[in-house]
């Protein structure tokens, strides 16, 4: 029986791996890119898991280089064919790899679609007893991945009619940051399995890279509410596989050719914003995300303050700029790098005063890198960089009356998508300062206080209305049912269903 010839790509340069993966329509040529690895050690693990027919590996890699890898691979899996990738100056390594049993080699500077295909076909023909497809049909999943990644210019609606027969679409994106290949594979399979249970929803799911899975959900217009409910159920189920899932669901659309726009202007952007949604596992978009430009930081002024050791004004500038980046949802790695670059100069100035040394600076930067959300990010910065100048002055402006007004505002708007940033704008105080005040003066902090108000309202609704648990959660401000249930149980001690059952009995 004919099958695709499975190829594993091994190279420590991600762009090289992506380039090879998308340089040809491999399935159409009879090959299947089974996976990717960034070093020899990871590659051996994937070989055991994926059992490829051919491994395409760089000769120079970290952890375990190509020579050690070739020796281990061909000793443990003698039937697997190895093709070496190399530059001109590493040709001595290539000869050693060939002596170890590698089937062929390709020089990276000469890498081309035609040359790679010719080598793959030649090596595939050397595998005893194998019957590979001479020409295959590209799967829907591969076509979708190539289209979303920009490697294929368009998709034919007619070609997809069989798999996606309905008029309405939404796109679901899942961020897999930090997961192993095995975990990603399990969740990808779970995605297909769960949605196949809903006959009214068709699905095609494509793995775009090691961290993102995108699924096009297709349904009738009247089933939109059911589609959203199924996504909530799905988010709850995969939380058993993945401790901190983050899912993004796009707005509904009817033109299949809008799929890439929906990905680029909605899902891709939102998945990069996980940093700004602590505690949330699912965010639903009903329209495109607005474009926001980053304001220029007046570095000359900042540097002047530091030169004059006017740290209060320098730090006031720093915090104001960080808050402006939060308001436009700057990408996580960018806001962290910008913070570290500016703080480096701040710590140098403190060293001139005989205060903070390299150890403190390095500890601060390490903790910043480890933060998983914006709240933790500011907590670390406040730990190492005390508010001074204008921010210190604000402390005397925030009175008991202000706090009572803020609490009243929260009680009035608790069922909206309320964030600390909204509160800061509403009352004209710094995001960072209000966050600090809540943490220092209220045991539960802003998020805890908001949750306490919401859960109090939810308890009343569970006992006094016939609304479903999902409806109750939505009414009090939780778009994610699973998150609502977790918060409810944490505060009340039991799930919403158990609370309604037990307390409802007592009321009767």
The pLDDT tens digits for 170-203 are 999 988 776 666 677 777 777 767 676 777 888 8
Q: Are 42 and 73 in contact (CB under 8 A)?
A: no
Confidence (pLDDT) at 377? 93
- Give the CA diameter of the chain: 85
For the domain spanning 398-507, the CATH number is 1.10.10.60
Residue 172's closest CA among 219, 215, 227, 206? 215
Q: Cα–Cα distance between 144 and 123 in angstroms, integer?
A: 29
Confidence (pLDDT) at 103? 83
461 alpha-carbon distance from chain centroid: 35
Q: Cα–Cα distance between 307 and 164 in angstroms, integer?
A: 63
Q: Are 435 and 383 in contact (CB under 8 A)?
A: no
Report the percent of the chain where pLDDT is more than 70. Answer: 85
Q: Does residue 68 register a pLDDT over 90?
A: no
**pLDDT tens digit string along 455-490?**
999 998 988 888 898 899 889 988 887 788 888 888
Average pLDDT, the chain: 81
Q: Per DSSP, which regions of 250-336 are E strands? A: 282-284
**pLDDT tens digit string along 316-332?**
899 989 988 988 888 89
Q: Cα–Cα distance between 262 and 198 in angstroms, integer?
A: 23
Domain 140-284 CATH (choose: 3.30.70.20, 3.30.70.270, 1.10.357.10, 3.40.50.11810): 3.30.70.270
Burial (CB count within 10 angstroms: exposed 0-12, middle 13-18, buried 19+), residue 245: buried
Q: Does residue 94 register a pLDDT over 80?
A: no
**pLDDT tens digit string along 251-268?**
999 998 899 899 988 898
Q: How confident is the model at residue 365 (pLDDT cuts 50, 70, 90)?
A: very high
Q: Cα–Cα distance between 246 and 6 in angstroms, integer?
A: 31
Q: CB-based contacts of 402: which residues, under 8 Å, 6+ apart?
A: 427, 429
**pLDDT tens digit string along 198-239?**
778 888 888 776 678 888 999 999 988 888 888 888 887 777
Bridge partner list, 114: none
Q: Does residue 90 register a pLDDT over 70?
A: no
Q: How confident is the model at residue 135 (pLDDT cuts 50, 70, 90)?
A: low
Q: Are 22 and 151 in contact (CB under 8 A)?
A: yes
Stated pTM of the model? 0.57
Domain 5-124 CATH (choose: 3.40.50.720, 3.30.413.10, 3.50.50.60, 3.40.50.2300): 3.40.50.2300
Q: Does residue 396 register a pLDDT over 70?
A: no
For the sheet with 104-107, list strands across it.
31-37, 5-10, 54-58, 81-86, 104-107
């Amino acid at each position: 029986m004919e099958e695709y010839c499975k190829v594993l790509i091994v190279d420590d340069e991600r762009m090289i791996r992506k380039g090879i993966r998308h340089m040809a329509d491999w399935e159409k040529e009879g090959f299947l890119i089974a996976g990717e690895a960034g070093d020899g050690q990871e590659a051996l693990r994937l070989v055991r898991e994926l059992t490829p027919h051919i491994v395409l590996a760089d000769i120079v890699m970290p952890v375990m280089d190509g020579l050690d890898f070739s020796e281990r691979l061909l000793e443990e899996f003698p039937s697997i064919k190895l093709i070496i990738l190399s530059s001109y100056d590493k040709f001595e390594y290539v000869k050693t790899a060939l002596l170890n049993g590698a089937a062929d080699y390709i020089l990276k500077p000469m890498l081309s679609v035609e040359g790679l295909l010719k080598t793959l076909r030649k090596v595939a023909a050397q595998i005893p007893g194998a019957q590979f497809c001479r020409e295959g049909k590209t799967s829907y999943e591969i076509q979708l991945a190539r289209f979303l990644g920009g490697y294929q210019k368009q998709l034919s609606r007619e070609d997809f009619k069989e798999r996606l027969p309905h008029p309405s679409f939404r796109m679901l994106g899942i961020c897999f940051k930090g997961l192993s290949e095995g975990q990603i594979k399990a969740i990808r399979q779970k995605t297909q399995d769960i949605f196949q249970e809903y006959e009214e929803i068709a699905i095609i799911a494509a793995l775009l890279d090691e961290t993102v899975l995108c699924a096009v959900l297709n349904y009738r217009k009247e089933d939109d509410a059911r589609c959203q409910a199924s996504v909530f159920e799905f988010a709850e189920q995969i939380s058993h596989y993945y401790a901190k899932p983050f899912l993004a669901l796009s707005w509904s659309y009817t033109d299949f050719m809008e799929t890439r726009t929906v990905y680029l202007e909605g899902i891709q952007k939102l998945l990069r914003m996980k940093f700004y949604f602590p505690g949330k596992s699912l965010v639903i978009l009903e329209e495109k995300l607005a474009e926001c430009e980053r304001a220029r930081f007046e570095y000359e002024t900042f540097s002047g303050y530091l030169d004059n050791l006017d740290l209060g004004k320098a730090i006031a500038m720093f915090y104001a700029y960080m808050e402006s980046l939060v308001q436009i949802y700057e990408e996580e790695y960018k806001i962290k790098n910008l913070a570290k670059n500016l703080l480096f100069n701040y710590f140098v100035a403190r060293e001139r005063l005989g205060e903070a040394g390299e150890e403190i600076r390095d500890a601060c930067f390490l903790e910043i890198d480890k933060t998983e959300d914006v709240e933790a990010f500011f907590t670390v910065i406040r730990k190492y960089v005390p508010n001074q100048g204008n921010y210190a002055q604000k402390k005397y402006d925030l009175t008991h009356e202000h706090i009572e007004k803020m609490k009243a505002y929260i009680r009035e708007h608790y069922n909206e998508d309320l964030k600390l940033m909204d509160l800061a704008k509403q009352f004209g105080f710094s995001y960072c300062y209000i966050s600090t005040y809540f943490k220092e003066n209220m045991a539960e902090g802003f998020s805890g206080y908001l949750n306490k108000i919401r859960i109090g309202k939810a308890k009343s609704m569970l006992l006094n209305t016939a609304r479903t648990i999902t409806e109750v959660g939505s009414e009090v401000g939780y778009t994610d049912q699973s998150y609502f249930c977790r918060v409810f149980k944490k505060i009340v001690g039991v799930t919403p269903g158990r609370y309604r059952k037990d307390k409802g009995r007592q009321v009767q």
